[in-house]
Amino acid sequence: MEQNIQSQPNNTNPNENRGRGRGRGRGDRGFRPPREKSEYEQKVLDIARVTRVTKGGKRFSFRAAIAIGDGKSKVGFGIGKGRDVAQSMQKAFNQAKKNLITVVTINGTIPYQVESKYHSAVVLLKPAKGGVKAGGPVRVVAKLAGIKALTGKLIERTNSKINIARATIEALRTLKVKSEARNPKFETRT
């Protein structure tokens, strides 16, 4: 009696064909173009889970505060809220790109002493030699702006990193310098 035996593929591993043809599994990522590098470096200053209380219960979302800069003279700060951390960070990055300022520097430091207040935070920035001597958000904003030497002091301290960062940005925004034609001994970089 002859039986009709169909030839089976000679698989040594029975799980070899598992998962094919059913969409994208763990190993099958598909083609993704390489992500282009942004021209701005970003630092996360603060991430917080915030709650909105409604009649039906509590709604949770995330707030991210991000400072961005190109390390040459541009710096910005933004805040974003979203349903998850990634969404809030993307919104904060977009907000920071809209709020970019150009910082005036002379030989890697600021031209003169400046003080700024934003809500409860008061920041004092002085020109210096030999590195950035500042803490917290002041240091982050100064480094992202490309400032190589600076002394920063929080006159009235607060626990809000957002207010400190905004006060620092305001202080850097107020910096002005005379034109090179009137004062040629300074090398200005804008």
| More confidently predicted of 148 and 3 | 148
Measuring CA to CA, which residue among 117, 89, 105, 96 is closest to residue 142?
105
Q: Of 43-52, 116-125, 178-187, which range is least confident?
A: 178-187
Identify whether 96 is part of a domain: yes
For residue 46, the domain's CATH number is: 3.30.230.10
Predicted local confidence at residue 157, as pLDDT: 82
Report how many domains make up the chain: 1
**Residue 144 to residue 43: CA distance in whole angstroms:** 8
pLDDT-derived band at 15, boundaries 50, 70, 90: low
Q: Which residue has the higher pLDDT, 92 or 1?
A: 92
Instruction: Report the pLDDT averaged over residues 162-184.
Output: 82
Residue 20, in any domain of the structure: no
Q: Is residue 31 part of a domain?
A: no
Question: Does any domain span residue 24?
Answer: no
Q: Is residue 14 part of a domain?
A: no
- The upper half-sphere exposure of residue 30, i.e. CA atoms within 13 Å in the direction of its Cβ, equals 6
Question: CA of 27: how far to CAs of 19, 23, 24, 31, 149, in Å?
Answer: 9, 11, 8, 12, 48
Decide if 12 is inside a domain.
no
The answer to whether residue 157 sits within a structural domain is yes
Please report the pLDDT score of residue 182 as a whole number: 47
Percentage of the chain surpassing pLDDT 70?
Answer: 75
- The rounded distance, in Å, linking the Cα atoms of 92 and 135 is 22
What is the C-alpha to C-alpha distance for residues 151 and 28, in angstroms, rounded to an integer?
52
pLDDT at 29: 59
Average pLDDT, the chain: 84
Q: Is residue 60 part of a domain?
A: yes
- The whole domain housing 60 covers 41-180
* Amino acid identity for residue 22 in this structure: R
